[in-house]
Structure 1
Amino acid sequence: FWSLFTLFQGAIGFFTAGTAIILLFTLRFLVGLAEAPSFPGNSRVVAAWFPSSERGTASAFFNSAQYFALVIFSPIMGWLTHSLGWHSVFVVMGILGILLSFLWIKTVYNPKQHPKINAAELDYISKGGALTSMDDEKSQQNKESKWPYVKQLLSNRMLIGVYIAQYCITTLTYFFLTWFPVYLVQAKGMSILEAGFVASLPALCGFLGGILGGLLSDFLLKSGKSLTFARKTPIIIGMLLSCSMIICNYTESSWIVVAIMSLAFFGKGFGALGWAVVSDTSPKECAGLSGGLFNTFGNIASITTPIIIGYIVNATGSFSGALVFVGSNAVIAILSYLFLVGPIKRVKLKEPPSTPPAQVPSSSI
């Protein structure tokens, strides 16, 4: 559905300005609405399919795929815009997404329903902490409202720290997804075609950083380090590296800027282990809800980041303040994991109060 709504955006140019703005806002909203289950769904897949010692790597591959997509498609989209106009980008990407959705439907299963899984594999991942029985009582759980659990999740200090950090880390993501190519064009004088190719270099570093961060986290876990140390260490190192983007304010060289941004994007990928943490901490009663709240906090940044950066650039006439804003979010993410999150462990919820039975009037006895 999000690919279908992306495809429709290619037709916005056929409408007048006022109508086009309304349609653009509506379709972008629908894209976000349809795409929202993707990351919580992946967190659930990782929790069901992977033992604890492999979740960091599994989550890193999923999370890093978005950076690798930028490596592949940034040059292609730059060329499409340059040669065929901006409409073609939405049409091509929408069609590709629709085709891939059919492949996804044919390949994704729950562990116990996969046609090729054997008893040894199922036993291995189950003993390692995979929640393979998460959906055994699915029909019963669907009858129960998950809203009573929301208050417990939002009052848990560890989860609040993880949610705040995810907002900050997603701010970095959306800087690179939205404003970084504009920064290269407006602040560094590159053409759209050049920016498309250059933007793929930091994205490649982000992809490599994401994979290495997950591998390091799982290596530390298998080496006997605590889950807390294994997850927090790559996150803190990665966010420290991301702060380096502020140095771009002190150089005029375009290629030095690209090198620094590549380091910052590498750090962002290296520290993007939030979904592994969600798989480690989400209560099994409402893993999807916990991932949904985590995703909501992160996606708030997808709304605020383009607006805040646009306001800063418009008010100051430069990107200097914008880079400081994005870098400061990396610092806040570090502080959140250091001082708010505490030990990383699976949350145990209290049973929500059940609805009391209706009272029978004494006169009817």
Structure 2
Amino acid sequence: MKFQSTSTLSNGQARSALAVKATKKRFVVGFLLFLGIAVNYMDRSNLSLAAPLLGRDLNLSPVQLGLIFSAFGWSYAILQIPGGMLVDRVKPRLLYAILLCGWSVATCLQAIVNGFSTLFGLRVLLGTFEAPSYPTNNRVVTTWFPERERATAIAFYTSGQYVGIAFFMPLLVYIQATFGWRGMLFFTGAAGVVYSVVWFIFYRDPKESKADAAELDYIRQGGGLVDVGEQGGARKGGWADFKHVLKNRNMWGVFIGQFCLSSILWFFLTWFPTYLVKYRGMTTIKMGFMASVPFLAAYVGILCSGFLSDFLLRRGFSVGFARKVPVISGLVLATSIVGANYVQDQTAIILFMSLAFFGNGMASITWAFVSALAPKSLIGLTGGMFNFMGNLSAVAVPIVIGMLVKDGHFESALVFIGSLALIGALSYVFIVGKIERIVLPE
């Protein structure tokens, strides 16, 4: 019996033939990324769960609490570009393990703080170690997944930021009720230290893994950058390259959109539990369960988004159309957060929050734009620039909300978040055009 060579088949037929007989090691990598993101966001958001009790014990004002919430974002945003450049030079297996261990130790140390300054400093340290994490994720998914599977892969691993919080939130509230907020912070940090070892043991780059030649060819033919960094080594990523990427109109469109999208997320990661307890009258225990519902909604939203986007791509729609549809739809839906200002019933409040966060999840495949736009030799740097612009919201939003609610009313804060969601949708409609990979000058 003779088999037809994949070289005589069409590109689509060749990819299908390779996919059938290839190993599936990329799916294991996707699961490792998912677990890493779950740990990542558990350590980012645990302070928001502790905030009502921690703020009372440390005698923090709303403005001080806003500064504490934003402290992570200061170092996280500033170090995105240096972190992205680091990603282009250090292999993910070693780099991610060091980052995981570093930010997890910083989380453990938060359990022994006794004042504003120490806690602020440790949150800055947390942001320092987490800064290169998402550019690392983007490098991994760009090297391990073909274009036609990439939105689904990004949606799956990004969903860890929602599902981890959603499922762990009741557990963390229980730990906090039993061992106090200090015990809860220590527990989350220790879990990250353990996972840093797991990552180092199991992760490998494609050519160093147990993926067979068929899977590597399938990824390569589908646009996955299996060979990234091998053509003469990684590019230095100097000022000229930086300026060339910054001149790209599409990049500015996704920069603005990412700032707006991240602003919604940072409201939920910082002020949301305090909003429910202090401004809507929920008990801490009830908040722990009710606050998990919007995160579950966001989890469903991002999975739907990834599947929808890749489905549209497989049906022949352009990359730009397939990626924009769920992002724009999700950001428009996220404006519904303003509806919580017009209801008093706690179930209705959670309903509006869930609808808005579902929209946020729908829009959260934006890293697919970075994978499609980034120059082949500057995946880390471009991802760092993208994440820097987006996570300026981690600095601004907690402080702005703290200023808006200092008079005891939260309505204007929700209008602020809803307005940013609308601006983000308009950015993808009017600024982001045809999606093409940026080619650097020689």
Select 2:191's aligned residue among 96, 103, 128. 96
Counterpart in the other structure of 1:111: 206
1:43 aligns to 2:134 (yes or no)? no
Query: 1:337 is matched with which residue?
Result: 428
- Displacement after TM superposition at 1:86 (Å): 1.1
State the secondary structure of the residue aligned to 1:133: coil
Deviates more, 1:184-193 or 1:2-11: 184-193
Write the mapping of 1:1-365 to structure 2, written as runs, cut at 5 A: 1-13=102-114, 20-114=115-209, 116-137=210-231, 140-141=233-234, 144-315=236-407, 317-351=408-442
> Offset at 1:178?
0.7
Alpha-carbon offset, residue 117 of structure 1: 0.7
Residues of 2 paired with 1:224 and 1:326: CA distance? Answer: 35
In the TM superposition, residue 152 of structure 1 has moved relative to its aligned partner by: 1.2
Aligned to 1:17: none
Tell me: CA distance 1:145–1:46, structure 2 relative to 1, closer, same or farther (3 Å): closer
1:153 and 1:179 map into 2 onto residues whose CA distance is 34
CA distance in 2 between partners of 1:187 and 1:26 (Å): 28
* Aligned equivalents of 2:176, 2:397: Cα separation in 1: 24
Q: Mean Cα displacement is larger for which, 296-305 or 210-219?
A: 296-305
Verify the 8 A CA contact 2:229 2:377 in the aligned structure 1.
Answer: no
CA distance in 2 between counterparts of 1:71 and 1:52 reads 29
User: Paired residues, what number?
Assistant: 341
1:55 aligned partner, one-letter code: R
Task: State the Cα RMSD in Å.
Answer: 1.2
- Supply the AA of the counterpart residue of 1:347: I
TM-score of the superposed pair, with normalisation by structure 2 = 0.75
In structure 2, distance between residues paired with 1:210 and 1:190: 28
**1: CA distance between counterparts of 2:182 and 2:197?**
24
Q: Is the 1:146–1:289 contact (alpha carbons within 8 Å) kept by the matching residues of 2?
A: no
SS of structure 1 residue aligned to 2:405: helix
Q: Deviations over 1:319-342 (max 9, x none)?
A: 111111111111111111111111
Measure how far apart 1:181 and its partner are: 0.8
Q: Aligned equivalents of 1:27 and 1:155: distance in 2? A: 36
| Residues 140-192 of structure 1 deviation map (CA, whole Å, 9 limit, x = unaligned) | 336x3433211111121110111111111000001111111111112210011
**Can you give the 5+ residue segments of structure 2 that lack an aligned partner in the other structure?**
1-101
Runs of 4+ in 1 over 6 A off after TM superposition: none
Which one-letter code corresponds to 1:3 in the other structure? S
Distance 1:145 1:161 in 2: 22
Q: Distance in 2 between matches of 1:190 and 1:4?
A: 32
1:261-309 CA distances to partner (integer Å, 9 max, x unpaired)? Answer: 1111111001111111111111112110000011111221111111111
- Which residue type is aligned with residue 201 of structure 2? K
- Give the Cα–Cα distance (whole angstroms) in 2 for the partners of residues 146 and 39 of structure 1: 21
What is the distance in 1 between the residues matched to 2:128 and 2:354?
30
State the alpha-carbon separation in 2 of the partners of residues 137 and 82 from structure 1.
55
Q: Secondary structure at the match of 1:224?
A: coil
Which structure has the bigger radius of gyration?
1
Distance, in Å, in 1 between the alignment partners of 2:116 and 2:346 is: 34
- The alpha-carbon deviation at position 206 of structure 1 amounts to 0.6
CA distance in 2, matches of 1:53, 1:145: 28
The 8 Å contact of residues 146 and 286 in structure 1, kept in 2 or not, is answered as no
Pairwise CA distance, 1:121 = 0.6
Letter in 2 for 1:131: L
How far, CA to CA, are the matches of 1:148 and 1:105 in structure 2? Answer: 34
Q: Say which SS state the counterpart of residue 318 (structure 1) adopts.
A: coil
Deviations, residues 201-230 of structure 1 (Å, cap 9, x unaligned): 110111111111011000000011111110
Once the two structures are overlaid, the 10-residue window that deviates more, 73-82 or 223-232, is: 73-82
Corresponding residue SS for 1:141: coil
For 1:158, the aligned partner's letter is N
**Contact conserved, 1:48 with 1:131, CA < 8 A, in 2?**
yes
Query: How many Å separate the matches in 1 of 2:356 and 2:202?
Result: 34
